[in-house]
Structures are given as C-alpha cells and as structure tokens.
Amino acid sequence: MSARSKLGGGVLAIVLVIASAAFIWGSRDSKPVQAHQKFPNNVAEVVFASPGRVEGLSDTTQVGAAADGVLKAIYVTEHQFLTKGTLMGEIACDDLNAMLQTALAEADGTRQARIRLLRGARDEEKAIAAKKTAAAQATLAEATSRLSMQRALFEGGEISRSAYEQADRDFGVAEADFQAAVRTEALLAAPPLQEDKARADAEVLAGEGRVRTAQERIRKCAILAPIDGTVLRVYARAGESFSTVTPRPLFSLADTSARRVKAEVDERDLSKIAIGQNVIIQADGLDGRKLTGTVASISAVIGRKSVYTDDPSDKIDRDVLEAVIDLRQDAQSLPIGLRVTVQFLSNGLPKQ
C-alpha cells in the first residue's frame, strides 16, 4: 500500500471518529429540557427545569427515642395510619419504675412530716403536759405552805436552822418544777417556728421534684407519634438497643392523605419562579405520563441540594431554593420519595 493510500485511510478514520463524537454529543445534549421549549398546544413554554421529589402533605418525619435502652416492643406496622400521640414503641425502663416508687414513698414521707409539724403535738401529749403542770402547781403550793410554817417555827426558836433551810430548798425545787411544766405545756401548744416550716416546705418540694423527674424519664421511654400520619418505614426491631449519643431513626412518618412535589430551584433561576406558576412533572417511573400543578409556596431560605440526578454534569455544590408544588391530578399512587423533573412554564409568571 502506497503512502498516499495510507494517508487517505487515516484522514477518513479521523473524519469518522469526529462525526461519531459529534453525533453522540448531540444526542446527549438533546436529553435535558431546553429553556423556552415549545409544546404542541402552544399555550406555554418551559422556562427552566429542576429536580424534585414526591412528598406527602407534610415533610417525612424521622422518629427516634428520647431515652437510652433496649427496645421492649414495637406496636405499629408500615402503612398504618396513626393519630398524634399514638404509642409506636417502648424502651424497657424497669429500673426507672423502681426509682419512681422510691421517689413517691419519700415524697409522701416529707408531706406527712410537714403535716405533723403544722398540727403540733398530739392532744394526748397536751393533756399529759397539763396534768404535769397541775401536779407541779400543787407541789409548789404545798412547799410554799410548809416554808411559811417552818419560817414561823424557826423565828420562834422551835426548830433548827438546818430544818428551815431544807424547807426553803424544797420550795425552790417545787417552784422550778412548776416553771418547767408551764414552759413545756406552752411549747406543746405553740405554732411551729418559721425556719422549721420553711425546711419542711423545702423537703416537700424536693420530694415532689424527684417524683416528676422519675415520671419524665419514664415518659421518655414511650415513643409517641409526633403528628397524624402514616407509618412509611419501621427501622426498629424489638430487642435492639438505642442510644441518644448516636441516635438513629426508628420510624418514618408522614401525612400521606395527598401528594405534593418539592422542587429544588437553582439559585441562578430565582427570577424565573413565582407562586401560582404552572409546572409539568415528569419521571422515569410515570411511563411517559405527565402531571401538572402549580407553585404553592417558595421557601424564604436558600439551602444545600438534597435531590441529585444521574447526570454527571450536575453540580452538587449549588445552593437551591425549595418550591412546593400542588398537583392538580389525583396522585395517591405515586410513591413518596419518587424522583421527578419539574418543568416550570411561563404561565403564571409576572409580565415584564
């Protein structure tokens, strides 16, 4: 083969490679939705397109537990409808139940001690004190009489000084006993001191606080539905351990009474979206069927992307704005989490 023939074959091969690359690149570029694409009905044109996901009427809520421990039981199943507050699962908290009983007993003891303090001495104790006071008074009266008699005898020289001094000492003892009995009776009848009452009140509050703490910890062992909705997934199994240090979802829950779409609008397309704007929704799982809807709300905060496409040229570091789409058709059959493409139409945009 001559050099000219070889050169001609090489040029032909290069031309074929370039033509093939141009065809492949052109077919690849034809897949994404182009801006201002005309539809057959000529009613509106596509302004831009964004990825999105099918959701229920509420965001999907991941439900965990508020206490550490082993899952004692799971009471719900997937696709089950729950009302807010329904018991979904339970953490084993037998040790906390024992702690609660101890706290209840201690709190009751502090309350009874406060009642006894405010009530004062028992009636029987007061009666005994009154009798002791009466006896001491009688003893004092007898000692007073005897002392007077002994004084007269001593002054008349009929008894010795020691006998008189003994009578005087007996009088002093009787008087002291009487004063002590009077003070005891008054003490039993007196109201409690303010500092004693304050201490009793503090002990009651502390006991009741320990009861509330134990009850709150026990309540955290119950996993309750935070919203009305349907159980989408049950991730937990009885016997598994759960830790609040490294939490994980045990259930996922959402309001599935209707469907909506949440689209992520690139920050470069913010000027092309408005509430009430018409959209067309497509997905690989719809078998070519198109759904229509309108933009119901637009988030006021820009965040990070959470919906990713299979396009390798898709930028994952873009900031996006979430737009909620209300669907016009009945879309109950659409699975929650389905990835879709949302085409925003010129209908509903404010005129420039």
* CATH T-level topology, domain 100-216: Four Helix Bundle (Hemerythrin (Met), subunit A) (1.20.120)
pLDDT score recorded for residue 20: 59
What is the chain's pLDDT, residue by residue, as a tens digit (352 residues)?
455 555 556 556 665 656 555 544 444 443 333 334 444 444 578 899 999 999 988 888 999 999 999 999 999 999 999 999 999 999 998 888 889 999 999 999 999 999 988 888 888 888 999 999 999 999 999 999 998 998 888 888 888 889 888 989 999 999 999 999 999 988 888 888 899 999 999 999 999 999 999 999 999 999 999 999 999 999 989 999 999 899 999 999 998 888 899 999 988 888 899 999 999 998 887 878 889 999 999 988 888 777 766 555 566 667 889 999 998 877 778 888 889 999 999 875 655 4
The torsion of the CA quartet 174, 180, 186, 187, rounded to 10 degrees, works out to: -160
User: Given this model, what pLDDT does residue 27 score?
Assistant: 44
- Interatomic CA distance for residues 281 and 46, integer angstroms: 11
Alpha helix (H) residue ranges in 120-193: 123-155, 161-189
Integer Cα distance of 343 and 272 in angstroms? 11
The domain spans of the chain are: 35-56+258-345, 61-92+223-254, 100-216
What's the pLDDT score for residue 37? 43
pLDDT at 132: 92
Residue-level pLDDT at 42? 47
> What is the DSSP secondary structure assignment for residue 333, as one 8-state letter?
T
Q: What is the pTM of this model?
A: 0.58
The two domains 61-92+223-254 and 100-216 share their CATH topology (first three levels equal)? no
Structure tokens at 181: 């009995």
CATH number of the domain at 35-56+258-345, out of 3.90.230.10, 3.40.47.10, 2.40.30.170, 3.40.50.920?
Answer: 2.40.30.170
The CATH number that domain 61-92+223-254 falls under is 2.40.50.100
Question: In one letter, which amino acid is 167?
Answer: A
* Edge-first strand listing for the sheet containing 229-234: 61-63, 251-254, 229-234, 81-82
The confidence score (pLDDT) of residue 153 equals 87
Q: How far apart are alpha carbons 133 and 33 in whole angstroms?
A: 107
Cα–Cα distance for residue pair 85/62, rounded to 1 Å: 15
Beta bridge partners of 159: none
- Residue from 347, 338, 351 nearest 292 by CA: 347
What is the distance between the alpha carbons of residues 307 and 301, in angstroms, rounded to a whole number? 17
User: Beta strand 319-327 with 260-266: parallel, antiparallel or unpaired?
Assistant: antiparallel
